[in-house]
Amino acid sequence: MSLAEGGDATVKAPDSGPRIIHDVLGIGFGPSNLALAIAVEEHNADQPAAGGIDALFLERQPGFGWHRGMLIDDATMQVSFLKDLVTMRNPTSDFSFLCFLRERGRMVDFLNQKTLFPLRVEFHAYFEWAAARVAHLVSYSSEVLSVTPVRDEDGGVQHFDVTCRTPGGLSATVTHRARNISVAVGLEPHLPPGTALSERVWHNSQLLPRVAELTAAGTPVRRAVVLGAGQSAAEAVDYLHRTFPDAEICGVFAKYGYTPADDSPFANRIFDPEAVDVYFDSPSEVKQSLFDYHRSTNYSVVDMDLIEALYATAYREKVQGRERLRFLNVSRIREVGIGDEGLEVAVEFLPTGERQVLATDILVHATGYRARDIGTLLGEAAKICLRDDGDAVRVGRDHRVEVTADVHAGIYLQGGTEHTHGLASTLLSTTAVRAGEIRDSLVSRLVAS
């Protein structure tokens, strides 16, 4: 999403402004705002026509999509199917993953697997199924350009004008007005400084389409290098190794080896809905301690089954005398150049400083994601948001940004709130519960107004 910069922070409400004023306007339509759309839909079903929440969601993609570039055929979810879009909030909802399975005729087959963790491609199909059921609330191919606070005659801000580009062309725009906005645009790929993506240098979020392009073109792959030590990096190494049976695949990371994810029952309680309350009410130093203690539940860690499978493959190849799977541990990539037939990747072994140059056809940066900057996301509207001593946006327990006293319109954040709401903020674990909390906050504020 690209938001325009410049101009005044607020505008006077024009007489010819948008006729419809939405109660909430969602920016982005991934799992978080999809869960909110469902919560709104279920609320409205129990209300008279005039008592519901008027919601609209804007999504720049032409249809629903969630990490499509990493929907590897055998990759499974790392979160229980019970932490779907609704179950933790409303176990009786017919938007649950189990209801999806029942409709597709696979419930018994799934249960016979005796697993809590469905295939990622199947969970994505579940998301698409749910998104189709609330499609009347979504405007796809709508790229948000600006978010502008609208001041009334008394100088207060009751609404936001959200302008987006529509499929009609570069000059085709439409402006929507809303009393509240829910920002849920996900994370953006994180890359090492100076990295330039190209046909040969990718972020792992591009993995599947890029591989498909190479395969379709018949481009030979003799060596591929994957930088990173987390789940996505290990999955990319495994996928490339299986996809290109004649290529050498090199995993490069600064650790000595992949670190197992801590998914033990007690550690997983950091993702409980109640843990959000504990984290939110804690002093800043306790928040930091909790974050540091439990990084191993999510950051730069790999499922133990995948670690063991990769090790077994590497050992089997060593026994057979043809080692295609290599791990360059305690190492970093120091330089990437262009060679005669591809890339030249300089890898430094950190203990000695010794370097080796790998001639490679593909370099994949599995270097994670980062929260998008709220200043970029909201443009001029970011100026009304209050910040703490560390320059982080102040956010209330109901996920609403704290704003200046003259602003009565609401900005809700779904994601980018680890500093206030904990490790689960960017994950699926509390998505359903958070959607209910935001919906309830919207209802109470709309009633009060």
Cβ atoms of residues 185 and 28 within 8 Å = yes
- 100-113 per-position pLDDT tens digit: 999 999 999 999 99
Mean pLDDT of 371-375: 86
Q: What is the pLDDT of residue 2?
A: 34
Mean pLDDT is lowest, of 48-57, 188-197, 341-350, for 48-57
Task: Look at residue 38 and give its three-state secondary structure.
Answer: helix
Share of the chain above pLDDT 90, in %: 84
Q: What is the pLDDT of residue 14?
A: 46
Which H/E stretch holds residue 370?
A: strand 369-371
Q: What is the pLDDT of residue 169?
A: 62
pLDDT band, very low/low/confident/very high, at 441 (cuts 50, 70, 90):
very high
Q: What is the pLDDT of residue 9?
A: 38
Give me the count of residues in the chain: 449
- 12-29 per-position pLDDT tens digit: 444 445 679 999 999 999
Cβ atoms of residues 231 and 261 within 8 Å = yes
Q: What is the pLDDT of residue 375?
A: 84
447 pLDDT exceeds 90?
no
How far is it, in rounded angstroms, from Cα 449 to Cα 443?
A: 10
pLDDT band, very low/low/confident/very high, at 8 (cuts 50, 70, 90):
very low
Mean pLDDT is lowest, of 35-39, 179-183, 390-394, for 390-394
- 149-165 per-position pLDDT tens digit: 999 988 899 999 999 99
Q: What is the pLDDT of residue 167?
A: 80
How far is it, in rounded angstroms, from Cα 358 to Cα 196?
A: 18
